[in-house]
Amino acid sequence: MPLNRNKLSGLILILLAIGSYASLQIGHVEIDLFAAIISPLYGNTTPDTIILWHLRMPRTLMCLIVGFGLGIAGAGLQGFLRNPLAEPSVVGISSAAALGAVLSIGLGFSALGLYFTPAFSLGFAAIASWALIKLTSKAASKHSVILIGVGISSLSGAFTTLVLSLSENPFAINEIVFWMLGSVTDVSYHHVLISAPLVMLGSFFLLRAANGLDLLTLGEETAASIGANIPKLRRDILIGTALTVGSITSVVGMVGFVGLVTPHIVRPFVKHEPGKTLIWTPPIAALLVLISDVTIRLLPTASEIKLGVLTALLGTPFFLYLVSKQRD
């Protein structure tokens, strides 16, 4: 059911505007949104202004960044691996980034400053992506990316468990567990400034691969024979995934299933073309993360459910449906 590009663009922009408005308006404290927006223009600072500009605005921006980055990485990996069950965690980047953050918290570096945990996380994501590129550079098959990625993910998970088991500080363990659940609750503009440039850079590498993904639908050998540079395509996908997923995980923790689910929502509207799926998935993923975060605030719970928990609860049934469909 393909849609006209202009109609699709307009619909997505309207939905994103509605989602952003809901994210800024809805919360445990009711605010006058219009007054909070214009108050700084007159030099006034009210409680509503503080809530809007220092709490809800960075949270809304981070939801958009998280959705955009995970969506484009998921679409890129599914297109390159030609596997509808692929998502960013399959190549081990998110697990490596999580290990870096866990080490920073467990060793006490996170207490030294705001940027230590993201720096550790991004460093480990960079190491994992370098290992992936090096180890798969001479491999002929796309399956090598999956196998090596699973190996990196398993190794990172094992070290993460080891750090948790050896830590003697209960406060550090508690912080690690909550961080790994994934949340945008306490983000600030500092976190936005850390992740946004890297997500943009990673998106550049991924979008550069759009034409190559379309050619890849013909098969690797055929695509290579008509001009597709498979090693360069693999490199762009892995670097783009590392930058987007690594920067997001370093700031908000583990948020799963967004990169898995969203491309499947988009494909029917773009004739199942990988290149177009790569382009249209990010804004839809951003909308889904916004909706998930607003839902969290509306749930009548004593404390907010973590974003990663909600996306897992919603994404797992969809994943099982995809698996059953693959078997059929």
Residue 290 lies in a domain: no
Q: In this structure, are residues 178 and 252 in contact, taking their beta carbons and an 8 Å threshold? A: no
As a whole number, mean pLDDT of residues 118-133 equals: 88
* Residue with tokens 């080891």, as numbered in its chain: 162
- 184 CB-contact burial (10 Å; exposed 0-12 / middle 13-18 / buried 19+): buried
Annotate 237-250 with b (16+ C-beta within 10 A) or e (fewer): bbbbbbbbbbbbbb
Residue 48 lies in a domain: no
What is the pLDDT of the chain when averaged over all its residues? 89
How many Å separate Cα 53 from the centre of its chain? 23
Is residue 211 predicted with pLDDT exceeding 70?
yes
As a whole number, mean pLDDT of residues 21-31 equals: 93
Residue 153: CATH number of its domain: 1.10.3470.10
* Residue with tokens 């081990």, as numbered in its chain: 92
| pLDDT tens digits, one per residue of 163-192 | 888 888 888 888 888 888 999 998 999 999
Residue 252 lies in a domain: yes
Residue 237 lies in a domain: yes
CA distance 105 to 103: 5
How many domains does the chain fold into?
A: 1
Residue 46 lies in a domain: no
- Quick one: pLDDT at residue 109? 87
Per residue, the 3-state secondary structure of 101-112, as one string, reads: HHHHHHCCHHHH
Whether the model clears a pTM of 0.85, i.e. scores above it, the answer is yes
Residue 36 lies in a domain: no
CA distance 187 to 23: 14
Q: Which is higher by pLDDT, 203 or 6?
A: 203
- Quick one: pLDDT at residue 244? 94
User: Containing domain of residue 190, as a range?
Assistant: 66-281+304-323
Cβ partners under 8 Å of residue 178, min gap 6? 306
Cβ partners under 8 Å of residue 42, min gap 6? none
CA distance 154 to 199: 25
Cα dist from 205 to 79, 232, 318, whole Å: 14, 10, 28
Q: Please choose, from the candidates 289, 204, 230, 239, the residue with its C-alpha nearest in 3D space to the C-alpha of residue 93.
A: 239
User: Which tokens belong to 36?
Assistant: 């909070």
Q: Which is higher by pLDDT, 170 or 291?
A: 291
CA distance 129 to 256: 19
Residue 52 lies in a domain: no
| pLDDT tens digits, one per residue of 37-64 | 998 888 888 899 999 999 999 999 999 9
Residue 45 lies in a domain: no
